[in-house]
Amino acid sequence: MAFVDFEASSLGKRSYPIEVAWVFGTGEAESFLIRPAPGWTDWAPEAEAVHRIPRPRLLAEGTAHDWVALHMLTVLRGAELYASAPSWDGQWLSRLLRAAGLPRHALRLRDTGEAQRRAVVQILRAGGAAADRVGGLADGILAAVERDAAGAGPPAHRALADARGELERWRDARRRAEAALPEARVDPAGS
Model confidence band, residue 191 (pLDDT cutoffs 50, 70, 90): very low
Which tens digit of pLDDT belongs to each residue from 133-171?
999 999 999 999 999 988 877 788 999 999 999 999 999
Which tens digit of pLDDT belongs to each residue from 15-68?
999 999 999 999 999 999 999 999 999 999 999 999 999 999 999 999 999 999
Please give the domain boundaries of the chain with CATH numbers for all domains. 2-110 (3.30.420.10), 112-184 (no CATH)
Model confidence band, residue 185 (pLDDT cutoffs 50, 70, 90): confident
Position 147 scores a pLDDT of: 92
Position 188 scores a pLDDT of: 54
- Dist CA 5 CA 19 (whole Å): 8
Give pTM, 2 decimals: 0.92
Q: Are strands 29-35 and 63-64 parallel, antiparallel or unpaired?
A: parallel
- Dist CA 24 CA 180 (whole Å): 25
> Is the pLDDT score of 187 beyond 70?
no
Q: How far is residue 56 from each of residues 18, 20, 36, 94, 113, measured CA to CA in Å?
A: 11, 17, 10, 24, 35
Model confidence band, residue 186 (pLDDT cutoffs 50, 70, 90): low
